[in-house]
Amino acid sequence: MEDVKKIQPNMLKGIVSVPPSKSVAHRAIIAASLSGGECTIENVAVSKDIEATIECMRALGAKCSVNTKSMTVSVTKKKTYKVKNMITLDCGESGSTLRFLMPIALGKGVPVKFVGHGRLMQRPQTPYLNIFREKGIKYELGTDYIIIDGSLKSGSYGLPGNVSSQFITGLLFALPIIDGDSEIIVSGELESKGYVDLTIDMLSKFGIEIENYKYKLFKIKGGQKYKGCNELKIEADYSQAAFFLVADAIGCNVECLNLNPNSLQGDREILDIIKNTGARIVKGPNGGIMAKKTAVMHGITVDAKNIPDLVPIVAVLCSFCSGESRIINAGRLRHKESDRLRSTATELGRLGVGIVEERDGLKIIGRDLVEGNVCSSWNDHRIAMALSIAACRAEGCIEITGAEKAVTKSYPDFYKVYDRLAGNETY
């Protein structure tokens, strides 16, 4: 039986300890697994995507022990590691896991089979496939798997800037540890730049140096070694905080704790986006941050080039701003867990929002309250969470099909937290 989350309109109220960043955690687990030493990674939330990365690194020879209670992952590289048969890596529905690990998995001397679920294998892989063809790496592509066989050599790698930055991250992890120098040449403007910053920052914590020439060219010295990094603490996730900060901006009263004001996460931009509507960002009584709704909140134009994951929740924010809002440069949203331009427009449309899906963006006319209705999560965590926030300011009950399962991809505790905040605990 499919899960259906029923939400009665209710203004959320309380404190949220913002969960750790999924993007930073993927990178920490991979880098620690590639290093020789033992690394304890603190503040890791084991969502489905993170679990996939841990399992894949284990299959590639890392020893990872997970303590969900203390939220720590301890990683050591196994001393002897020889494989004779094909390695299978199940990436779940995680684009990051698949694209980060493909270059790393090359050169094991055996074919590696990557398995994907949901929409994962329908998401673009062409930039890597072009490289594989050019560099003589064999591959076989099925509807839910790809088998790759060959080794990565140093040299020049061309990648488009407007498909996914995850291809660049994958090569940045793998190229430094092979013999010989390499370069990545980006054609067109790189989108999702902040995610490449997160990669380069994590690599530097493990002693790996990358030269970044304005996101157009990356120079990578070969023969580098991932040095030990004994301890790492994953910072809070701005992409997840965005749901509660937008809840505030539409009238809720939630304080988000633990956000790093100097974070490199591109989705920190949610603070400026909220301010641009006329809402305020303030310090909360417990040292966290909150947004405050104001009477003058108006439509905005948001360039989504570098902040794709914010789009569904920013569309909810715009749904409650007066006048017209536009989300532009968001064509890549069509290649996420759902076609997020279609899913956002369809579902907010079902709630009575005047929303138009454009080729690479959304046009939204705000209203005071949305309508109650039954809608779908499209098996997409960010759609489920965004609709749940819209439900706070609805005229009636909103039911979201497939929501509980969808959120396990990045934020398994989302509804536990949401229901607590909806219970109006004393604040």
Ligand X SMILES: O=C(O)C1=C[C@@H](OP(=O)(O)O)[C@@H](O)[C@H](O)C1
Ligand Y SMILES: C=C(OP(=O)(O)O)C(=O)O
Under rule CB under 6 A, residue 332 binds ligand X = yes
Q: Which is nearer to ligand Y, 132 or 167 (CB)?
A: 167
- Three-state secondary structure of 167-208: HHHHHHHHHHHCCCCEEEEEECCCCCHHHHHHHHHHHHHCCC
Q: 207-217 b/e with 16+ CB inside 10 Å = b?
A: ebebeeeebee
> In the complex, what is the shortest distance from the CB of residue 368 to ligand Y, in angstroms, rounded to a whole number?
29
Query: Would you state the torsion angle of the CA atoms of residues 239, 243, 246, 248, taken in this order, to the nearest 10 degrees?
Result: -130
> In the complex, what is the shortest distance from the CB of residue 411 to ligand Y, in angstroms, rounded to a whole number?
10
Q: Are 407 and 384 in contact (CB under 8 A)?
A: yes
Residue 382 site contact among ligand X, ligand Y, none (CB < 5 to 8 Å, cut-off depends on kind): ligand Y
Neighbours of 383 (CB within 10 A): 29
CA atoms within 13 A on the CB side of 280: 7
Span of 150-158, 164-172, 370-378, 416-424 interacting with ligand X by CB under 6 A? 164-172
Q: Which is nearer to ligand Y, 377 or 410 (CB)?
A: 410
Closest listed residue to residue 344, CA positions, set 329, 361, 328, 332: 361
Under rule CB under 6 A, residue 309 binds ligand X = yes
Q: Which is nearer to ligand Y, 33 or 53 (CB)?
A: 53
From the candidates 179, 309, 339, 368, which is the catalytic residue? 309
Q: Is 192 annotated as a binding residue?
A: yes
Under rule CB under 6 A, residue 377 binds ligand Y = no
Q: Is 95 annotated as a binding residue?
A: yes
Q: Is 123 left (phi over 0), alpha (psi -120 to 50) or beta?
A: beta
Under rule CB under 6 A, residue 410 binds ligand Y = yes
Q: Is 135 annotated as a binding residue?
A: no
Under rule CB under 6 A, residue 379 binds ligand X = no
| Both structure tokens of 305 | 């080039």
Site for ligand Y in 106-165 (CB under 6 A): none
Task: Tell which one of 97, 192, 319, 401 touches ligand X (CB under 6 A).
Answer: 192
380 is catalytic: no
- 73-102 mask for ligand Y (x: CB under 6 A)? ---------------------xxx------
Rounded to an integer, what distance in angstroms lies between the CA atom of residue 135 and that of residue 277? 49
Q: Is 164 annotated as a binding residue?
A: yes
Rounded to an integer, what distance in angstroms lies between the CA atom of residue 367 and that of residue 374? 19
Q: Are 332 and 164 in contact (CB under 8 A)?
A: yes
Q: Strand 182-187 and strand 156-160: pairing?
A: parallel
Q: Are 101 and 128 in contact (CB under 8 A)?
A: no
Q: Are 226 and 31 in contact (CB under 8 A)?
A: yes
- 162-201 mask for ligand Y (x: CB under 6 A)? ----------------------------------------
Pick out the residues of the known binding site for phosphoenolpyruvate. Answer: 22, 95, 123, 166, 340, 382, 409
Pick out the residues of the known binding site for 3-phosphoshikimate. Answer: 22-23, 27, 164-166, 192, 309, 336
Pick out the residues of the known binding site. Answer: 22-23, 27, 95, 123, 164-166, 192, 309, 336, 340, 382, 409
User: Applying CB under 6 A, which residues contact ligand X?
Assistant: 23, 96, 164-166, 169, 192, 195, 308-309, 332
Q: Which residues are known catalytic residues?
A: 309
User: Applying CB under 6 A, which residues contact ligand Y?
Assistant: 49, 94-96, 309, 336-337, 382, 410
